[in-house]
């Protein structure tokens, strides 16, 4: 058995902000992918994945009982496949902010949901929101609270523009210019990040009046501008706003940035060689970088391996 491939994703803009209704922009990242498989000689990883799928299957069966109007699955087929040793064969690093659980959720929905919304039909806003709600409920098994965006991105394999909680749409992004000097890149922090504790930390911070004010007047404002700039291909304004966003994150989201990156984060702001931001919930995993000159950024960050995800 070998299912279709489901890709990782990168939330370019909107981390944390989308919880409070900022805009967001999420793009598929085809470098990493996963698929459901059964193997004759399972590896240690496959056995571990199968145990996790077994717990997930029980969770989905409960979800169907609790919310029959939302989603139903072919539980007989699912349980039989799990019993045969099915696992998720994935190159997507876990805890890196690139949607490892999202791809798995998308694969499970694609294979086992009955009466599923398919990618081929006319995706109205209602259908997209229904999918997002289903995925949010499914992915909560992994994170405690999920927006459902990662699986949606992986399932549709399209860039998704988040205008607000109840307004999302597939979008086109400016086509890449492969000889362009401008780039979006990833840096591997070498640390696995845990989503749940970071989100809890953010929710705690929201109780503080000053933090809430900063979020609205600065963080969300710059995030929304970055999304608009990126979609309209306004590179000059994009970098001005990304710099402001990078500063705000360094000042107010320090616990989400691994300590050894505080200095190089500041260096980017001071030199304008690159600007860093969180990739997903932070705490480890990947860090996202934006630069107008990828050669300069590589030179400036020569101790780190940069993975280019988009060029313009």
Please give the mean pLDDT across all residues of the chain: 93
Q: 289 versus 284: which is more confidently predicted?
A: 289
Pairing outcome for strands 24-37 and 87-90: antiparallel
The residues near 233 (Cβ < 8 Å, ≥ 6 apart) are 174, 312
Whether residues 162 and 194 share a domain: the answer is: no
- Whether the per-residue pLDDT at 1 is higher than 60: the answer is no
* Residue 177, domain member (yes or no): no
- Whether the per-residue pLDDT at 155 is higher than 60: the answer is yes
- Which of the four pLDDT bands, split at 50, 70 and 90, describes residue 79? very high
Whether residues 295 and 245 share a domain: the answer is: yes
- Residue pLDDT, tens place only, 25-63: 999 999 999 999 998 899 999 999 999 999 999 999 999
Percent helix, strand, coil in the chain, to 5, is: 50, 20, 30
Whether residues 157 and 202 share a domain: the answer is: no
Domain total in the chain:
2
Task: Check residue 109 and give its pLDDT.
Answer: 98
Task: Check residue 298 and give its pLDDT.
Answer: 97
- Residue pLDDT, tens place only, 189-234: 999 888 888 988 999 999 999 999 999 999 999 999 999 999 999 9
Query: What is the C-alpha R_g of the chain?
Result: 20
Percent of all residues in the chain with a pLDDT value above 70, rounded to a whole number = 99
Whether residues 138 and 164 share a domain: the answer is: yes
295: containing domain: 183-311
Task: Specify which of 89-103, 108-122, 266-280 reaches the highest per-range mean pLDDT.
Answer: 266-280
Whether residues 122 and 193 share a domain: the answer is: no
Task: Check residue 33 and give its pLDDT.
Answer: 95
Task: Check residue 2 and give its pLDDT.
Answer: 62
Whether residues 189 and 166 share a domain: the answer is: no
> What count of Cα atoms within 13 Å lies in the side-chain half-sphere of residue 241?
19
- The angle at the Cα of 154, spanning 58 to 282, to the nearest 5 degrees, equals 85
Whether residues 254 and 112 share a domain: the answer is: no
* Residue 178, domain member (yes or no): no
Answer whether 170's CB lies under 8 Å from 164's CB: no
Q: What CATH number has the domain bearing residue 56?
A: 3.30.230
Q: 259 versus 122: which is more confidently predicted?
A: 259
* Residue 119, domain member (yes or no): yes
The residues near 179 (Cβ < 8 Å, ≥ 6 apart) are 311
Whether residues 259 and 226 share a domain: the answer is: yes
């Amino acid at each position: 058995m070998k299912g279709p491939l489901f890709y990782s994703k990168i939330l370019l803009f909107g981390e944390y902000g989308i919880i409070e209704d900022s805009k967001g922009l999420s793009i598929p990242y085809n470098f990493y992918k996963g698929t459901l498989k059964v193997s004759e000689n399972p590896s240690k990883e496959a056995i571990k994945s199968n145990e996790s799928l077994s717990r997930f299957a029980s969770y989905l069966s409960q979800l169907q009982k609790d919310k029959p109007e939302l989603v139903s699955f072919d539980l007989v087929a699912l349980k039989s496949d799990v019993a045969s040793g099915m696992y998720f064969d994935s190159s997507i690093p876990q805890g890196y902010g690139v949607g490892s659980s999202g791809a798995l959720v998308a694969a499970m929905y694609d294979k086992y949901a009955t009466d599923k919304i398919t990618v081929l039909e006319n995706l109205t806003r209602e259908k997209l929101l229904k999918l997002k709600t289903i995925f949010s409920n499914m992915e909560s098994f992994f994170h405690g609270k999920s927006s459902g965006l990662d699986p949606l991105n992986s399932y549709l394999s399209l860039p998704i523009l988040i205008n607000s909680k109840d307004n999302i749409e597939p979008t086109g992004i400016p086509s890449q210019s492969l000889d362009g000097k401008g780039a979006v890149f990833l840096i591997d922090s070498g640390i696995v990040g845990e989503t749940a504790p970071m989100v809890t930390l953010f929710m705690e911070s929201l109780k503080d009046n000053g933090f809430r004010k900063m979020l609205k007047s600065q963080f969300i404002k710059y995030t929304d501008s970055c999304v608009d700039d990126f979609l309209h291909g306004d590179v000059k304004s994009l970098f001005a706003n990304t710099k402001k966003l990078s500063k705000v994150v360094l000042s107010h989201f320090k616990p989400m940035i691994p300590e050894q990156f505080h200095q190089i984060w500041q260096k980017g702001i001071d030199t304008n060689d690159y600007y860093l931001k969180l990739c997903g919930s932070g705490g480890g995993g990947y860090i996202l970088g934006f630069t107008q000159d990828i050669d300069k950024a590589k030179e400036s960050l020569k101790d780190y391996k940069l993975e280019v995800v988009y060029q313009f």
